[in-house]
Homo-oligomer: A and B are copies of this chain.
Amino acid sequence: MKKQSKSKALSEKEGIPQPAHSSPDVAKQLISRRRRSATTEELVQGILAGDQTRLSRAITLIESKAAKHQDQARQVIEACLAHTNRSVRIGITGVPGVGKSSFIEQLGLQLVGQGHKLAVLAVDPSSSLSKGSILGDKTRMEELVKQPQAFIRPSASGTSLGGVAQKTRETILLCEAAGYDVILIETVGVGQSETAVHSMTDFFLLMKLAGAGDELQGIKRGIMEMADAIVINKADSENVKAAKLAKTEFNRALHLYPQKASGWTPKAFTCSSLKNQGIEEVWDVICNYIELVRDNGYFEQKRKEQNRYWLMQTIQDSLQQRFFDHPGIKEALDEQMSLMEQNKTTPFAAANYLLQLATIS
């Protein structure tokens, strides 16, 4: 089921109407043939040549849980590394309904029109539950999907944000090796997914809607501070006035935050994806930002810091997983938690007790 929808999406992207499979057996055969042919060498060559089918196949390896797929994925990434790091990575966040898909469709069409190669990825750790709420419904980007210069890939599924984020980061590398020079990474505010996307992108765009004067209610913890720009979408027809007001209020709120390490001053903008207005300006803002941070060295510095962050984060996550998966820890943890609730032990005594049950060697 999943595989079918994947091959459908690829056909659409190449702009070729897909022939109806004569039978499920034929479909199976085709899939199996494609699988057999995908050696590491072929995948790498295909990716470097910009072949979307090979790129998709390699991303599927990254997303696979099978050890041999993981091994092959690692080899592919390693071979591609020298060709990475050449894109602008842009994070886009906003609540469902804010119009991220239409915005990305309009921005994407402009970018491919200008000769850019655009990859659209997503980080949505909940998508395994909702069956891919983000980018799942590609009809929402039906024009962009037809562009050969655009590559759209739904979020990796998985329940752990760490896992999903790692896969997305590795996917970015392959997309860069395949020549995509603009990478958009979309997310909704699920748990810490915005922090994860912020930590893998060069520019972070927060999308908002104008409301009934309470635009600033419900600002989520830390999200505004991460934004390099805020764009108020759906600034069209009767919304124009409210959007302008929201823009003023967001600019005021942005003013509350300290100067960014990038030297950049975030601002709010309005746009209408529906009427295709203001999208070009947002791209100009992104270009101005990239110019600034490439000049002052922050671009390079931030990417280095992000690498270090992901290295440390991966070690931390793995250490904890190993610890809590260790035999006997789960029961002991429950027991210590219960003692703690009864005020018979402290968090530190409980932690020390648990730590001596699993030692490192």
Residues of B close to A319: CB separation below 8 A: 316, 319-320, 323, 355
Q: Assess the A344–B258 pair: CB atoms within 8 A.
A: no
Residues of B close to A221: CB separation below 8 A: 222, 225
Residues of B close to A307: CB separation below 8 A: 340-341, 346-347
Between A219, A344, A360, the greatest number of chain B beta carbons within 10 A of the residue's beta carbon is seen for A360
Partner of A219, one of B77, B258, B316: B258
- Closest B residue to A249 by CB, please name it: B256
Residues of B close to A355: CB separation below 8 A: 315, 318-319, 322
Q: Assess the B361–A217 pair: CB atoms within 8 A.
A: no
Within 8 A of B (CB), among A232-272: 253, 255-258
Q: Assess the B311–A344 pair: CB atoms within 8 A.
A: no
Q: Assess the B258–A256 pair: CB atoms within 8 A.
A: no
As a 0/1 sequence over residues 333 to 355 of chain A, the CB contacts with chain B under 8 angstroms (1 = contact) are 00011001101111111111011
Q: Assess the A77–B349 pair: CB atoms within 8 A.
A: yes
As a 0/1 sequence over residues 284 to 328 of chain A, the CB contacts with chain B under 8 angstroms (1 = contact) are 000000000000000000001001111101111011101100100
Residues of B close to A313: CB separation below 8 A: 347
Q: Assess the B81–A343 pair: CB atoms within 8 A.
A: yes
Residues of B close to A315: CB separation below 8 A: 320, 323, 351, 354-355
Is A183 interfacial (CB 8 A cutoff)? Answer: no
List the number of copies, as a whole number.
Answer: 2
As a 0/1 sequence over residues 155 to 197 of chain A, the CB contacts with chain B under 8 angstroms (1 = contact) are 0000000000010011001000000000000000000000000
| Interface magnitude class on chain A | 35 or more
Residues of B close to A84: CB separation below 8 A: 343
* A229–B320 CA distance with the chains assembled, in angstroms: 36
Q: Chain B nearest CB: distance from A255 CB in Å?
A: 7
Q: Assess the A257–B349 pair: CB atoms within 8 A.
A: no
Is A36 interfacial (CB 8 A cutoff)? Answer: no
Q: Assess the A346–B77 pair: CB atoms within 8 A.
A: yes
Residues of B close to A166: CB separation below 8 A: 348
* A309–B359 CA distance with the chains assembled, in angstroms: 22
* A350–B81 CA distance with the chains assembled, in angstroms: 13
Is A140 interfacial (CB 8 A cutoff)? Answer: no
Partner of A318, one of B81, B343, B345, B351: B351
Q: Assess the B346–A173 pair: CB atoms within 8 A.
A: yes
- Closest B residue to A173 by CB, please name it: B346
Is A218 interfacial (CB 8 A cutoff)? Answer: yes
Between A220, A323, A347, A350, the greatest number of chain B beta carbons within 10 A of the residue's beta carbon is seen for A347
* A347–B303 CA distance with the chains assembled, in angstroms: 11
Residues of B close to A323: CB separation below 8 A: 315, 319, 360
As a 0/1 sequence over residues 19 to 32 of chain A, the CB contacts with chain B under 8 angstroms (1 = contact) are 00000000000000
Residues of B close to A219: CB separation below 8 A: 256-258
Q: Assess the B311–A340 pair: CB atoms within 8 A.
A: yes
* A326–B319 CA distance with the chains assembled, in angstroms: 13
Q: Assess the A320–B310 pair: CB atoms within 8 A.
A: no
Partner of A314, one of B217, B257, B341, B348: B348
A and B contact pairs by CB, cutoff 8 A, 17 listed: A78-B345, A81-B346, A170-B346, A173-B346, A220-B258, A304-B341, A307-B340, A307-B347, A311-B336, A311-B337, A311-B347, A314-B347, A315-B351, A316-B316, A318-B351, A322-B355, A322-B359
